[in-house]
Structure 1
Amino acid sequence: MVQLRENRITRFQERQKTSMDSGNQQKGLTAHKLFTDLQRAFFTSMPSGKRTDDIEELKTFIQKMDKTITDLSQQMKESNQKLHQESNKKLLEEMQQLRNVVQAQKEEMKKKDLQIAILQEQVDELDQKSRINDVIITGIKVRPRTHVQATARRSEEDSDRNPDNESVEQQVITKLREFGIIVKSKHIQECYTLPSGGRKPPMVFMTLTNRKNKIALLKQDPKLKGKNVFLNENLTKKNAEIARKARQLRKDGKIMATWTANCKVFIKTQGSSPEEIKTKVIRRLQELQVHEN
């Protein structure tokens, strides 16, 4: 009978070991259930008349089973901890790999943004160079004509016969002469009014034959002071915004002066001594931020 019990115990332990080796499929089995199963196995193996006589043997059997259950529980706990640690380690490794990928993508985006900014500046510089001989005139009242009409040259004889047919170029030359500003027709490549959008009088677009003639015209700008007529360079949208911001800083007393030359924006900074007063070329709007405070 004892041998029978021991055989049942051995088979039970083997089943538990097989269960542990196959991936702990019965991890949810509690110690109480194990103990109950062992008791049932013990008592069913004993004749009813012998149960009282084998109390000591039963105590020994229970202690042995209790130790077996404790060992199994410890093995399950250690197995769970090991699996948990391995799972966490793998998860941390995957998270770190993702962080590395994200960081690499951020660095790549920064490089591309820098390349785009450089290319944009180069495009803007080329655009500005294409406007280097242009002048925008505001405040002069002229009879608008189309671009085609403005670039179509007519003989002086036709103009003399009908003064109302004067080209925009001839009208501008005449108006500027009234203010003491001299510009020759041979120095003008084209001259026409820009779409006004309701603005009166409309702005006049003039392209000189070269930079020298444009500079000569702009140098006469002081003669227009107080006349509400203005001669300005044809700036790109970017440089026009820089010039507008610089004028606002001058108006607010943040800088001493600002002007444009060769389609570049210049400022003169504030200073308590001549050494502190600096003249700067502003190429980016962000460069004016240091003068806002």
Structure 2
Amino acid sequence: MVTTTFRIGGDLRVGRLGFGAMHLPTEPAPDRANALAVVRRAVELGVTLIDTAYMYGWGANEELLAEALHPYPEGLLVTTKVGVARPKGEWALDGRPEALRAQVDQALTRLRTERVELLQLHRVDPQVPLADQIGALRDLRAAGKIGRIGLSEVSVDELAEARGITDIASVQNRYNLLDREYEPVLAACEQAGIAFLPWRPVAWGAAGARAEIAAVAAETDATPTQVALAWLLGHSPVILPIPGTASIEHLEENLAATGLRLTPDQRDRLDWLPAGD
């Protein structure tokens, strides 16, 4: 049986199918009005996990979410990410403790909150010792500014090193039905009970082109996107997909995947992908 909720960090309960806010436009109306409507509709439909980052519009995405949802409904988790900066007009990694502290303070202001319940390191900065980066986040947690620490785009070894410094509640790596490069990281998360938030949970444009996915979609009267999301939800109980969209129609399509149940035969056929079609 596929579970519908997960407790991040062992205590923060969220629905397993979240919403990635990266694709929401932050420009003036009418695009902004549509973006506000999409994220509000997501919450109306029961989404309790929304993912954003400083890098998404360099703070504009966080401000958009606050405009749409503040004061936040009880039980809603808005998680953001730090560690990427734009010092000379182009993005660059910046895991210096002072930079992480400043970005967290700025995120708190933009999100209109005193505490981010899940704060993720967007990328590990190879120029800064990982212990310094994780240590800065650990100190921010001790100060009450963040509740739980997550990582993004990490290897098994980096995850293990970080866990040797402090508790890690989540990992956000690229992963989908047709891209399973980080299967070892997922396995490590599953063993430790760590939430795994796959970004790009659907292979854009590719899912419907694979014959097996299209066949399962036809058998279940679903879309290839719904099949891909349902596969993720059934693949591991720690997976929390965060599909993003700027369309209410696509949002509703994505969330309907929670009601799609794949048979053992269908799942077995999909499990062989992406090795063969």
If the TM-score is normalised by the length of the shorter chain, which range does it land in?
under 0.3
More helix per residue: 1
Structure 2 length as normaliser, TM-score? Answer: 0.22
